[in-house]
């Protein structure tokens, strides 16, 4: 009988290819479940999950909550803005207080890289990382790979380019780990100022010309320009960014083959991609969102089954 090799999902780099395969097989079943007339199963009736978000999030938080509710778990959600964190409570204290209310699993987003790892070493619960600073965002990478697998049949052998702010992006890092583990080839493309210095050491090539990158790839993952993380001017203006690294319909149609366009959301329409690209048939942005629920159900189900 197959099971995950880990008790927490802290990042893609802590799991194996077998784990990813198991998560995807399980997600296939949950995708069928969420398309039934009644989209709910009673598996996690006796599990309580806390969603702790120290950073803003709409999509990820909703997606996790929905996944948990579709599995019949009890859910408490909590945003740092309205909490005692503002009064000076430490992370471990906050989480331990929540755990004393008999919570089995914690889904956390935090602005510090390693926050989820730190928590997993210090509290007694199964931890799911929903984004820790510029480090990892494993469920996003899993749903991205799952969506590629669904659209193109498999991930192995595919060429994927990640475009945009690689420096601040946890989505980029988790995607690089996940795609390479499954045998895909990855390149990154973006302004030099937003490219980490030693990115090549991860085995990815840097391409500074968007057209060349797109001509090479099967899939383009267009990252969001994260204005909230740009503490100084990394590029002159949004307009200049979109001219060099934005994807519009004209560029997409001029390519020699049809590529798949992805975006982790939320989209800055007209900056990373234009509206007609986002809404085109080559875009699988909304499939990513649907798959997000199925993949998160799979992750939570598989982790919860290891809670004793």
Partner 1 sequence: MNPKVLLTSKEVDIILHRLACQLIEKHLDFSNTLLIGIQPRGKFLAERIQQIIKTEYGIEDIPLGFLDITFFRDDFRRSSKTLEANKTQIDFLVEDKKVVFIDDVLYTGRSIRAALTAIQSFGRPAEVELLVLIDRRFSRHLPIQPDYRGRQVDAINDEVVRVYWSEDGQDDSVYLLQQTEK
In the annotated binding site for carbamoyl phosphate, the residues are: 59-60, 109, 137, 140, 265-266
Tokens of 106: 């914690």
Tell me the sheet residues that pair with 159.
185
Q: Look up tokens 């510090």; give the residue.
A: 112
Name the phi and psi angles at 290, rounded to 5: -65, -45
**CB 46 → partner 1: shortest distance, Å?**
7
For 219, the 3-state DSSP assignment is: strand
Measured CA to CA, the distance from residue 241 to residue 164 in angstroms comes to: 9
Residue 3 makes contact with partner 1 by CB under 8 A: yes
Residue 102 makes contact with partner 1 by CB under 8 A: no
Residue 308 makes contact with partner 1 by CB under 8 A: yes
Considering only the stretches 37-45, 106-114, 155-163, 288-296, report the one whose residues sit in contact with partner 1 under the rule CB under 8 A.
37-45
**CB 296 → partner 1: shortest distance, Å?**
15
Residue 38 makes contact with partner 1 by CB under 8 A: yes
Determine the angle formed by the axes of helices 138-152 and 59-70, rounding to 10 degrees. Answer: 80
Residue 307 makes contact with partner 1 by CB under 8 A: yes
Considering only the stretches 30-38, 112-120, 175-183, 210-218, report the one whose residues sit in contact with partner 1 under the rule CB under 8 A.
30-38
Q: 88-99 in b/e burial notation, b at 16+ Cβ within 10 A? A: eeebeebbeebb
Residues 247-306 within binding reach of partner 1 (CB under 8 A): 301-302, 304-306
Residue 40 makes contact with partner 1 by CB under 8 A: yes
Sheet holding 185-189, edge to edge: 205-207, 185-189, 159-163, 219-222, 260-262
Please count the residues of this chain forming the interface with partner 1, following the rule CB under 8 A.
28
Residue 4 makes contact with partner 1 by CB under 8 A: yes
Look at phi and psi of residue 61 and say left if phi exceeds 0, alpha if psi is from -120 to 50, else beta: alpha
Determine the angle formed by the axes of helices 285-304 and 59-70, rounding to 10 degrees. Answer: 50
Residue 42 makes contact with partner 1 by CB under 8 A: yes
Of 142 and 304, CB closest to partner 1 = 304
Residue 29 makes contact with partner 1 by CB under 8 A: yes
Residues 70-89 within binding reach of partner 1 (CB under 8 A): 71
Radius of gyration of the chain (CA): 19
Residues lying near partner 1 in the complex (CB under 8 A):
1-4, 25-26, 28-29, 32-33, 36-44, 46, 71, 301-302, 304-308
């Amino acid at each position: 009988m197959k099971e995950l090799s880990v008790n927490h999902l802290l990042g893609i780099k802590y799991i194996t290819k077998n784990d990813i395969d198991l998560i995807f097989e399980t997600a296939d079943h949950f995708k069928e479940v969420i398309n039934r007339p009644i989209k709910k199963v009673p598996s996690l009736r006796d599990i309580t999950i806390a969603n702790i978000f120290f950073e803003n999030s709409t999509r990820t938080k909703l997606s996790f909550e929905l996944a948990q509710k579709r599995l019949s778990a009890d859910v408490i959600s909590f945003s740092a803005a309205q909490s005692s964190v503002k009064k000076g409570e430490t992370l471990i204290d906050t989480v331990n207080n929540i755990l004393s209310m008999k919570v089995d699993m914690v889904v956390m987003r935090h602005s510090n890289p390693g926050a989820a790892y730190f928590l997993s070493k210090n509290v007694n619960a199964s931890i799911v990382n929903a984004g820790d600073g510029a480090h990892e965002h494993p469920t996003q990478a899993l749903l991205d790979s799952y969506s590629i697998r669904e659209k193109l049949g498999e991930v192995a052998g595919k060429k994927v380019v990640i475009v945009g702010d690689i420096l601040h992006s946890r989505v980029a890092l988790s995607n690089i780990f996940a795609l390479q583990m499954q045998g895909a080839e990855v390149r990154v493309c973006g302004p030099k100022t937003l490219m980490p210095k030693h990115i090549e050491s991860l085995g990815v090539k840097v391409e500074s010309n968007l057209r060349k990158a797109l001509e090479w790839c099967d899939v383009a993952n267009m990252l969001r320009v994260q204005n909230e993380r740009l503490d100084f001017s990394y590029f002159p203006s949004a307009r200049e960014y979109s001219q060099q690294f934005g994807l519009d319909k004209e560029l997409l149609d001029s390519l020699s083959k049809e590529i798949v366009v992805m975006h982790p959301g939320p989209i800055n329409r007209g900056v990373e991609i234009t509206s007609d690209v986002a809404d085109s048939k080559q875009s699988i942005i909304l499939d990513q969102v649907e798959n997000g629920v199925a993949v998160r159900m799979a992750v939570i189900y598989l982790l919860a089954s290891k809670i004793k």
